[in-house]
Amino acid sequence: MKVRVRFAPSPTGFLHIGGARTALFNWLYARHTGGTFILRIEDTDAARNTQEAVDVILNGLRWLGLDWDEGPISGDVTGPSKGDRGPYFQSQRSENYQRRVEALLSHGLAYEHEGAVKFKMQREPVVIPDLVVGNVTRELTDREKMDPDFVIVRSDGQPVFHLVNVIDDLEMGITHVIRGEDHLTNSAKHIALFRAFGVEPPKYAHIPLILNPEGTKMSKRDKGASLMTYVEEGYAPEAVVNYLCLLGWSPKGNREKVPIQEVIELFDLPQILRHNARFDLNKLHWLNGEYIREMTADRFHELAVHALARIGIDTNRFPLDYVKAALDTCKPKVKLFAEVRTFADFYFKDEIDYATEATAQDFAPEAKPRLQQLRDALAGLEKFDADTLNATFKALAARAGWSIGLLVHPARLICTGRAVGPSLYHLMAVLGKERVLQRFDRALSRMG
RNA sequence: GACCCUAUCGUCUAGCGGUUAGGACACCGCCCUUUCACGGCGGCGGCACGGGUUCGAUUCCCGUUAGGGUCGCCA
């Protein structure tokens, strides 16, 4: 039987990082088995269902590179979709639900109560076979002992989650339900519902939750709960995906950075860890740096230009070669695209501000004669490449008997306004002789 | 409160009866070096506790504790 799995988010206006991982694990399992990955939008709660909210999910999955074989193509509920088991929006599937509810009613498996329809839940414990956790026997809670039945259609006629989720999984031929562990106890209800419809339930795989650094369930309010955070902070999608793979699953062999193709080959449900994992931003940060370092220059440029545009720096105002050369000096240094700002902004400003902490030392009065000599040495250069600059600094320092740091540190501050940045000689070469001399002159005049 | 899941360094993990308990992130030193980053070397740091089973338990069983989740006419 061909594997059919689905990711079934509710359009809440953002894509939760835990939801993203659930989608990833479903996608991985589909790709590993050669099965089908389905995207279904659970928009039964009309109040918070907007096209924009659906687009957030679609765009988030696309950003991560999780392509679906069946499901909507756009956030338009009546728009086109892929696959022959649609519609893929629950709001478009009401007839199915009505038909199924009537069947339950006529078989005496559900009944009306105060305008709502309730499902006659079995009174015995339910065994949930789970590929990750093993067999779980769900006893009834105190509440359920009083009344185990649950509402499947609200008094306003709207079907509830448990009902529609099961009906859609049934009609879409879902073979494996891979979802968060927070659904584990729900599965008892779902299994009973499947049986009431006369079919065997799909296989279940409840994956552990992602906890925040405090150790509780990552909620909307937690920093980093929304996938959008990572898009905006300048993480590379492949790094985020790789990191998510490492939460609750391991490629073994003391490896951290694993190409997605290899993950697809190695991934399987029984090897998913059983315990929750805390989200560790530090490790994602490190991993992102790893991906940046091995990224092609073109991809780095693309992502870096976006990052700069977000903070109002329009690199289009500069020659393409200049922009590329500038960004090349940043690539080996940054771990995050958000950091490109402090590494590259001076390339794109006419007047730079000096970081105040550094000026006291580097722009001290006794430094001025040294910097004047350096300025003159630079002015006399015909070639202005990194090697020449390196040699010039060294020669001047040696001749005058200065530590090279006495030239290097102020020069960096003069050229970039900061104490930290790309390789000094390389960044000066990129800025070019004219800009460098301008910045020297401005700094020297400031020093009185 | 009831029900369910879980338990190896601070964090993510390897381990599947006998190991000096391995790796990664973070942190701390040293080296490299024009800052930072990278890289190299080294360090810190862990099997929650108590009973069993066994010649032998991190590993299997039970309990305790702790953490998490679920108990909606939300999804």
Q: Which of the nucleotides in strand B have any atom less than 7 Å away from a protein CB atom? A: 1-8, 10-15, 22-26, 34-38, 67-75
**pLDDT tens figures, A383-406:** 999 999 999 999 999 999 999 999
Q: Which tokens in the block code for residue A190?
A: 């779902």
Q: From the Cβ of A149, is strand B under 7 Å away?
A: no
Report CA-CA distances (Å) from A190 to A34, A161, A164, A342.
26, 10, 10, 52
Q: Which tokens in the block code for residue A76?
A: 């338009």
CA distance A382 to A391: 13
Q: From the Cβ of A220, is strand B under 7 Å away?
A: no
Between CA A330 and C1' B73 the distance (Å) reads 57
**pLDDT tens figures, A60-110:** 999 999 999 999 999 999 899 999 998 999 999 999 999 999 999 999 999
Cβ(A208)–Cβ(A246) below 8 Å: no
Q: Which tokens in the block code for residue A253?
A: 């062999």
CA distance A90 to A149: 23
User: Can A4-91+210-278 and A93-207 be said to share one CATH topology?
Assistant: yes
Q: From the Cβ of A45, is strand B under 7 Å away?
A: yes
- Residue A223: predicted pLDDT: 83
> What mean pLDDT is predicted for residues A296-322?
94
Q: From the Cβ of A257, is strand B under 7 Å away?
A: no
Q: What is the CB neighbour count within 10 angstroms for residue A413?
A: 22
Q: From the Cβ of A383, is strand B under 7 Å away?
A: no
Between CA A280 and C1' B44 the distance (Å) reads 20
Q: Is the pLDDT of residue A49 over 90?
A: no
Residue nearest to nucleotide B69 (CA to C1'): A182
- Residue A362: predicted pLDDT: 78
Between CA A139 and C1' B48 the distance (Å) reads 28
Q: From the Cβ of A162, is strand B under 7 Å away?
A: yes
Cβ(A31)–Cβ(A37) below 8 Å: yes
Helix (H, G, I), strand (E, B) or coil at A118: strand
Q: Is the pLDDT of residue A140 over 70?
A: yes
CA distance A346 to A325: 13
Q: From the Cβ of A422, is strand B under 7 Å away?
A: yes
Between CA A365 and C1' B33 the distance (Å) reads 28
Cβ(A281)–Cβ(A296) below 8 Å: no
- Confidence label for A322 from pLDDT (cuts 50, 70 and 90): very high
CA distance A209 to A343: 36
Percent of chain A scored above 90 by pLDDT?
A: 85
DSSP E strands in A257-326: the ranges are 277-278
Of A19-23, A175-179, A321-325, A396-400, the poorest mean pLDDT is in: A396-400
**pLDDT tens figures, A330-374:** 999 999 999 999 999 999 998 888 877 667 777 888 888 999 999
Average pLDDT, rounded, for chain A: 93
Amino acid at A71: G
Beta bridge pairs of residue A203: A176
Q: Which tokens in the block code for residue A437?
A: 């001399």
Give the burial class of A176: count Cβ atoms within 10 A of its Cβ; 0-12 exposed, 13-18 middle, 19 or more buried. buried
- Select which of A2, A220, A283, A349 is catalytic: A220
Report the predicted TM-score, pTM, of the whole model to 2 decimal places: 0.94
Nearest nt (C1') to A10 (CA)? B75
Domain A356-446, what fold?
Arc Repressor Mutant, subunit A (1.10.10)
CATH entry, A93-207, from 1.10.10.10, 3.40.50.620, 3.40.50.920, 3.40.50.80: 3.40.50.620
**pLDDT tens figures, A251-288:** 999 999 999 999 999 999 999 999 999 999 999 999 99
Indicate the domain borders of chain A: 4-91+210-278, 93-207, 295-348, 356-446
Counts of helices then strands in chain A (DSSP H, E): 19, 13
* Total length of chain A: 448
Q: Which ipTM did the prediction report?
A: 0.95
A335 catalytic per annotation: no
Q: From the Cβ of A342, is strand B under 7 Å away?
A: no
Domain A4-91+210-278, what fold?
Rossmann fold (3.40.50)
Residue from A81, A91, A204, A77 nearest A138 by CA: A204
Strand B: which residues 424-443 of A lie within 7 A (CB)?
424-426
